[in-house]
Structure 1
Amino acid sequence: MANFYSVLLTAITIVAGLIWLYDAKVQKPKRRARVEAEEKRLQQTLSDEAKERLAPQGSIAEFAQSVFPILFVILILRSFVYEPFRIPSASMMPTLLEGDFILVEKFSYSLRDPIWRKKLVEIDTPERGDVAVFKFPPEPSLDFIKRIVGLPGDRIIYRNKTLYIQPACAESMTQCPELEVIERNLERTDGIFFNGATPLQQFREQLGAVSHATLVDPSVGNRSKYYFQQAGTARDEWIVPEGAYFAMGDNRDNSEDSRYWGFVPEENLVGRAVFIWMSFEMDRQASSALPQWIPTGIRWQRLGGVE
């Protein structure tokens, strides 16, 4: 189910709030009336302890009153401010590693309700180079994280492991932008990252104003036959429609992204990844007696902002 945790948190918060409201508006006046009647009968003011014994608040109502403010604050923060995500795969290496825990800024692009995700307030639009979380278009119950490469109207080509972008031609332009090769420089080939036994090449790529690292697997050949085919374009070429974006993983040969399934609709955007707040090493041996999900260590040096 799409937005399962958001729906669950919203439902629990509403139930707790309704219980608290019912107790405050219906049960509390009854308890007060019972205490006042007893005080009138005794002709004296009862202590707080005596009042509690005479007309106690139900345990469920007391619990709801305690947790509702906490749940409400969490719901607001998670829905409109920041939401934590865990990186589950290697598709964004070396920028994000499996075991990284990130904060996603929910208000970067728009404010949406936590259940139906209807836009409440439009704030901004993604910029080229943003690392964005979005609902996976073929299966919106899944959250994906990729880098925004193409903006509406852009022409994108990914050929021979080289990225080309022709920015959209605005009506106010007297001359449309030319197709440009995205600048990249080889940084290292010394086997920091591997695909099996194959060391991956690490490049430094300049995408708009953002400089970031990418990985290329020299053992992987042309995969254009698997690419999403847009009508009227070459197999390895795409024109980004209005209201949509083209997203790619930084681990270029190990990423299921827009090249294979198409574009990210604007309404699928969740937010922008801004901070790594925890990073666990997950390299436990299969022979270990401990479960594989238990971390083997903490990568303190990775904590910080996301490029």
Structure 2
Amino acid sequence: MRPDEYWKNFNLGTELDIAGRFLFNGLQAFHEMRNFAVEEDAFEFLYGVAVGIERLLKIAVILTEHDAANDQAEFEDGLKTHNHQLLIQRLQKRHQFDLAGMTNEFIGILSTFYKSHRYGRYSLGSVHAPARERDELITFLEKHLKVEINISGMFDSTRNERRYKMFIGRTISKIVLPIFHIIRNEAGRLNLYTYEIQYGSKASKIFLRESFDFEDEDILQGELIAYFVSGEESGPNSRFIRDLIKPLPFDPALEADYLSALRSDRYKQEVLDELEGHYEDVEDFKDRRNMLEAAASDHLSYDAGEDED
């Protein structure tokens, strides 16, 4: 295999997985936003998606444009850009890749964010416009969903509901999937396997399952909870938990918060203080932690009459 073939097949294959991870993380950040008031939330979402789409575009450009006759140094210099629109224009010269007005507008938000807003707060001038990426995201949502988003107070702020999550997922899918289609076609033309994705990875959710929201994951969580708390016939792990691990006295009034913590690493932070308080009253803390670790073992063997695994 020639060096350029190795580069396009393996190194760009790794880049494809990395792009998928950025997209996954950005979409997950949006999914976990409670409302639209916090500018850090908007930054985290836009950063992940902007980087993911940029890297994806560059893979497609390399597979489309590069051949052995290229001046390699000049070609690589041409990739040193964060301009999403420019990269799209390069693809459009050789591929049918038309973006509707809404998706073009979102690409513009990503480009502006990555070029200007990403480091905007390092400038003194940011005191006059401290949350531009958040405000542009809100304007985009208000325009295309015909809503009014309130960010004025902690309790009055518009909640990030299902319709916002589904809309953002659809918008990003209309950008990402056509680029991935180009990558598949170009890799096929070159007899390469750049497009192959590891099953079960973050990238597989994006490129193989073509899933751009986390609704299925929320449903899965609910179903698994129902399974583990049921009294139905079950495996050794759930029996071990029910029989041997006494539940801590969490507050029944906060069950909705606890369910959110199961769905989100971010929400876990809000419950950890309470957990530490409960642990102050646990005398056999070390044994309890060992039992919790055993409960998650892949090789746990437990029957109701056993005292230990």
State the TM-score, normalizing by the size of structure 2.
0.21
Higher share in strand: 1
Instruction: Name the structure with the higher helix share.
Output: 2
TM-score relative to the length of structure 1: 0.21
- Considering only CA atoms, is the larger Rg found in Structure 1 or Structure 2? 1
> RCO greater where, 1 or 2, for CA within 8 Å and sep 6 or more?
2
